[in-house]
Amino acid sequence: MRKWRSAKSLMGLMLSTVMLAGSIPGNVFAADTQTDRVESVLAGMSIEEKIGQMMVPSFRVWKEVPAPGTDDMNQTVENTGSSSVAVNVTELNDEIRQCIAKYHFGGTVLYAENCNDAEQVLRLTSDIQSTNLAGGGIPMLIAADQEGGTVARIGFGTAGTGNMSLAAAGDPVYARNMAAVFGEEMGALGINTDFAPVMDVNRNPNNPVIGIRSFSDDPNLVAKYGIAYMQGLHGTGTIATLKHFPGHGNTDTDSHTGFPCINESYESLKKSDLVPFQAAINAGADMIMTAHIQYPQIEKETYISKTTGEPVYLPATMSRTILSGILRQDMGFEGVIVTDGLDMAAISDNFRTDDVICMSINAGVDMILLPIVTDTNSFHETERIMESAVAMTKDGRISEAQVNAAVRRILKLKEKYGLLDKKDFSLTDAQIAQAVASVGSPAHRNVAWQTATKSLTLVKNEKSAFPITPKAGESVYILFADSGASRSEAWTMAETKLRADGKLADGVDVAMQKNTKEAGDAQVVQAVRADYVILVSRIFNSNCLDPDTDDGFSTGYFDQIIAGRKAAGKTTIVVSSQLPYDAGRFTDADAVLLAYCSGVMRSVPAASGAGSAYVPNLPAALCACFGDGVPGGVLPVDIPVIDAEYNMTDKVLYKRAQ
């Protein structure tokens, strides 16, 4: 396979990014590790212990059901006859505790179900590590998907703004500082690994799973902001994980629910999706997550799907060509490769579990995210997978040399981040107090708010429609597109700030509603009558552009409101709160403001940092509509023209600004 090195332009890009960091270190850890110590630890490990280091289970929900059997295809036989109630795993039960002590897992992953408040999470991570050490294990990687914005597992912390918003802020310092907030809050909770940043290039605006999780549709911008984000995590002692290799930004299928296929050549990928990964590898990446995507022009080996009986191509997660050939040999990555979750439909619908484990490890994977534990059946399946992986290694189906290489990389990573030296995870009152004070702190929230305001992008403003300056006796009508969840907390936050800052006069009548089919006609009438109108659009997939779909019906009512107000000589502001492509949908609106994230807050976050996660984009956008905060964002993606059938075309309406 031909050797590939990054272009000079990328080297310059990385240097400029590093220089921009100023006094903030890109990585606080020494580049050289004491490999003699790693070799000594590795030499003393049994095959069982080595396999344990490669496995990363997650204990998300627990439900007592009868233990499963297995059929002749070695698949779990589900039992659905139990009436037990599923409970979130916020503390270890006896079964999980025994499992951790027995198998010496290399890590675990926390989800929102595991996270209630700061003290609870810190006690949980302490218990996980202490239980593992008491059983003779090596300190674990405890991870979470804390990307920021719509993907933030710590539901009471600073959720931040999301990647596309960070790029819209126009300066990598914002990405670095936001990531540093995530790293500080995770570290205070005992979480040492972030499954972020997303390095996918959002090349396909119809992409159903990446979207605003991507920094940009430009590979160089993704590299620039992704490296800054990675450096922000590293500066807090948090392990960053680039995802989803080789790139999930050009798919039209979500691998959580289907099996994506990208029919693109290696040469093409080198000019696009691989650019950010190569730049970040050159800048010191430690960990990369694989994508469950087929690349038939690159990996031609097939497998008979257990569901359809038809051949499917091996995904990147199981491709030796992609992982050992491209990522290791061509791109020079020497760190840890971790799979995306094996419970995702792309894998679970098509591949038998033992084959997944065997092929992934032989392909070059170092750590495997086991199916999420949701009940005692899946718990026992995790145990069975462990035993099976050990057996396959002993009988030669899994390469022992590959296992040794993987564990060596895992141990080097743990040594680099001080985990091999950590022997006591018991808690002090000071640690608990620090966690409570740090997570969702006013200082962290201020970083998020300033970033959100800076990223707001005003792509259109005619007739001085933006901002509004309502006077006493005038009316303002704010209508949120129906999206299955209320965004009312965003207005509550915004209104509080507007009144405190003197930007919302007494006597102004503000009505805020959620658009519904039942009330839609009446809401159109109310909106046309109001003095000022702010329409909050939320486009989360391409179907949302079409008023005849269940996802997009609000756009039809918004069209009527905009037209009715134009006929009455009144202006309308549209706030795009999710994917920015609705800027091409509402071309008749007088002003269009892009906010890039509309994450739900369960409640308005308390001043103490307690309560719901802090998601500032939409509140900041609403404040800016009233003149409280000046949008400073630049467009990080091209906005396509929407045709008469509500499809995104190849024509560009608003050009990417960077």
CA distances from residue 456 to 576, 583, 596, 605 in whole angstroms, order as listed: 10, 13, 8, 21
CA distances from residue 600 to 154, 161, 483, 491 in whole angstroms, order as listed: 13, 12, 10, 12
Q: Contact, 637 vs 216, CB < 8 A?
A: yes
Q: Where are the alpha helices (DSSP H) in 288-422?
A: 320, 345-348, 353-363, 376-394, 400-416
Helical (H) or strand (E) element with 71: none
Helical (H) or strand (E) element with 62: strand 61-62
Neighbouring residues of 615: CB distance < 8 A, sequence distance ≥ 6 = 149, 152, 159, 160, 490, 597, 598, 599, 600, 601
Task: Kindly name the residue from 194, 218, 254, 340 that is annotated as catalytic.
Answer: 340
CA nearest to 89, candidates 71, 65, 109 = 109
Which residues are paired to 460 by β-bridges?
592
Q: Contact, 101 vs 92, CB < 8 A?
A: no
In the 8-state DSSP scheme, what is residue 544? Answer: G
CA nearest to 164, candidates 480, 457, 439 = 457
Which residues are paired to 62 by β-bridges?
87
Give yes or no: 104 in active site.
no
Q: Is 301 helix (H, G, I), strand (E, B) or coil?
A: coil
Q: Where are the alpha helices (DSSP H) in 341-399?
A: 345-348, 353-363, 376-394
Distance CA 69, CA 366 (A): 29
* Cα 432 off chain centre by: 27
Distance CA 385, CA 412 (A): 25
Task: Kindly name the residue from 256, 343, 531, 559 that is annotated as catalytic.
Answer: 256
Residue with tokens 């696009």: 272
Residue 413 amino acid letter: L
Residue 463 amino acid letter: K
Q: Which tokens in the block code for residue 256?
A: 């959580």
Neighbouring residues of 645: CB distance < 8 A, sequence distance ≥ 6 = 546
CA-CA-CA-CA torsion sign (369, 375, 379, 385): negative
Q: DSSP readout, 575-643?
A: EE-S-GGGGGT-TTSSEEEE-------SSPPPTTS-SS-B--HHHHHHHHHTTSS-------S-EEEE-
Sheet bearing 107-110, strands edge to edge? 107-110, 141-144, 193-194, 239-240
Q: Which tokens in the block code for residue 337?
A: 């490769």
Torsion angle defined by CA atoms of residues 268, 325, 286 and 27, in that order, rounded to the nearest 10 degrees:
-60
CA nearest to 161, candidates 613, 630, 651, 655 = 613
Give yes or no: 248 in active site.
no
Residue 498 amino acid letter: L
Half-sphere exposure of 169 (CA within 13 A, CB side): 27
Residues tagged active-site: 256, 340
